[in-house]
């Protein structure tokens, strides 16, 4: 068989609704493209709003040892045998570069703002694992991993409040941001996926020289990451997003099926 030759390609990818199906959290529909990436030495870097503990399980099952980004750019983790990122600290397992605000500060600030506004706010730190499982649809063991938060506090507002701008402003004054995700509101530092990808691009360039970068994501929290790469792909979702991103490709299929098709197309284009 003819040997396929590729340039150095790094694929940054979101998980939920992108590489993982939003229905059953499975990536089996992307297995063909993932396998080809493994074979061709293409790096697949997981960049998710999930916690470190959740991503570790997925990395193990996918059998990849590339760097990864947790909690929406809260931290970048690099394996101990790899070149450390500048400014990273060794945490016993990884070189970890923190870009986010530590969890206890987020939780305490949210409590303070909740009292100030008199709103009925309930964060993950106030919930049992059973409650998190119920609200997310995750089973108990995965809900436990989702509760191990380090750089982001998801929360619900139990009052009927249409305008969250008073909370956004108060958080802003504390150097934090509040935004609405899929199921929950979130409070976190000024980190985002784009800043993390920017740092990892320089890290890869140092060791590999020229690289070609690809990113795939399905939600607004992925847009900063899509803006950082040469081949940005928006994975089709139930929402109609048309972000203004240079060279953006929108997949025809949702979730891992879209991931599979788009990655195979890019590989065909770049490798010979």
Work out how close the CB of 260 gets to Mg ion at its nearest, in angstroms, rounded to a whole number.
16
Residue 163 known to be catalytic: no
In three-state secondary structure terms, 78 is strand
| Residue carrying the six token digits 């394996």 | 79
Please give the residues from 95 up to 114 whose contact with Mg ion meets the rule CB under 5 A.
none
Nearer to Mg ion, 205 or 257 (CB): 257
Nearer to Mg ion, 14 or 54 (CB): 14
- Tell which residue, 86, 82, 81, has the closest CA to residue 208: 82
Contact between 254 and Mg ion per CB under 5 A: no
One character per residue 5-44, x = contact with Mg ion (rule: CB under 5 A): ---------x-xx---------------------------
Contact between 218 and Mg ion per CB under 5 A: yes
DSSP code string of 50-77: S-HHHHHHHHHHHT--S-EEETTTTEEE
What would you report as the CA-atom Rg of the chain, rounded to the nearest whole angstrom? 19
CA distance 260 to 31: 7
Size of the site for Mg ion (CB under 5 A): 5
Q: How far is CA 227 from the centre of its chain?
A: 15
Nearer to Mg ion, 151 or 259 (CB): 259
| Residues annotated as catalytic (active site), given as ranges | 14
Residues in contact with Mg ion by CB under 5 A are: 14, 16-17, 218-219
């Amino acid at each position: 068989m003819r040997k396929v030759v590729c340039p150095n390609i790094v694929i940054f990818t979101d998980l939920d609704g992108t590489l993982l199906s939003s229905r059953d959290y499975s990536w089996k529909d992307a297995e063909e493209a993932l396998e080809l990436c493994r074979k061709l030495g293409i790096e697949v870097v997981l960049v998710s709003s999930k916690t470190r503990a959740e991503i570790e399980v997925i990395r193990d099952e996918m059998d990849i040892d590339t760097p990864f980004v947790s909690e929406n750019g809260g931290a970048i983790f690099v394996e101990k045998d790899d070149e450390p990122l500048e400014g990273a600290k060794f945490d016993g397992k990884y070189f970890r570069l923190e870009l986010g605000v530590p969890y206890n500060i987020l939780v305490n600030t949210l409590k303070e703002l909740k009292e100030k506004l008199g709103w009925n706010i309930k964060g993950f730190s106030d919930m049992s694992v059973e409650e998190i499982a119920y609200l997310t649809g995750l089973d108990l063991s995965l809900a436990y991993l989702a509760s191990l938060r380090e750089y982001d506090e998801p929360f619900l507002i139990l009052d009927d409040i249409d305008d969250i701008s008073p909370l956004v402003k108060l958080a802003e004054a504390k150097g934090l941001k509040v935004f609405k995700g899929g199921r929950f509101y979130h409070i976190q530092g000024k980190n985002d996926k784009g800043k993390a990808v920017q740092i990892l691009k320089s890290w890869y360039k140092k060791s590999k020289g020229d690289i070609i970068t690809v990113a795939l994501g399905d939600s607004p929290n992925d847009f900063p990451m899509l803006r950082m790469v040469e081949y940005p792909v928006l994975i089709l979702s139930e929402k109609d997003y048309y972000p203004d991103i240079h060279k953006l490709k929108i997949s025809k299929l949702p979730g891992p099926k879209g991931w599979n098709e788009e990655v195979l197309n890019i590989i065909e284009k770049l490798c010979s």
